[in-house]
């Protein structure tokens, strides 16, 4: 029910989110999150590498976990890989449900898991060269709260 995709192309955000409610009268809420590349500290580009076979499995498992946890009507997770520039959208998570609480919660759950469990690695390019981004402990803690019996 939640479609997942990893692609190098830009994300058609309006089409993807619009499709979740088009022609339906049972959808009461569509929550979408769009992550963008920020030009922090003079960032010139961001390149995402991924492990395609594992990304497909991990995203399908994460989507299934969200569906099992909340009453959802549909959703889409699209993540880009390759080279991106400040301002570009890097990830879209959009979830539809009858009521907003489940859609908000599922979208946040999916983003926390994408940050910590999906096999993506980032390279930042600045004036002083290119650097691999280190994993953040704050992201791990954000994902952990979903285990804490909430």
User: From residue 75 to residue 114, what is the string marking binding to another protein with x (rule CB under 8 A)?
Assistant: ----x----------xx-------------------x--x
Pick from 57, 83, 100, 145 the residue near another protein by CB under 8 A. Answer: 57
104 SS3 class:
helix
Return the number of other C-beta atoms located less than 10 Å from residue 137's C-beta. Answer: 8
Judged by CB under 8 A, the stretch of 21-29, 62-70, 101-109, 118-126 that binds another protein is: 118-126
Distance of CA 31 to the CA centre of its chain: 12
- Counting residues that bind another protein (by CB under 8 A) gives 27
Q: Which is nearer to another protein, 54 or 64 (CB)?
A: 54
Q: Contact at 8 Å (CB) between 94 and 45? A: no
Q: Write out the H or E segment, with its range, that includes residue 10.
A: none
132 binds another protein (CB under 8 A): yes
First to last CA, the chain: 24
Q: Where on the chain is the footprint of another protein (CB under 8 A)?
A: 35, 49, 51, 53-54, 57-58, 79, 90-91, 111, 114-123, 132-136, 139
């Amino acid at each position: 029910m939640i479609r997942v995709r990893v692609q190098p192309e830009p994300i058609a955000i309006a089409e993807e989110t619009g499709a979740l409610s088009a022609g339906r009268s049972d959808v009461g809420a569509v929550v979408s999150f769009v992550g963008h590349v920020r030009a922090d500290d003079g960032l010139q580009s961001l390149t995402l590498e991924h492990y395609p076979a594992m990304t497909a499995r991990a995203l399908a498992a994460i989507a299934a976990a969200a569906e099992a946890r909340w009453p959802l009507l549909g959703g889409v997770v699209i993540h880009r890989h390759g080279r991106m520039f400040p301002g570009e959208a890097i990830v879209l998570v959009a979830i539809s449900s009858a009521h907003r609480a489940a859609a908000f919660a599922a979208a946040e759950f999916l983003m926390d898991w994408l940050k910590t469990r999906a096999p993506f690695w980032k390279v930042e390019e600045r004036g002083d060269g290119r650097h691999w981004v280190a994993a953040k402990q704050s992201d791990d803690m954000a994902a952990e709260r979903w285990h804490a019996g909430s």
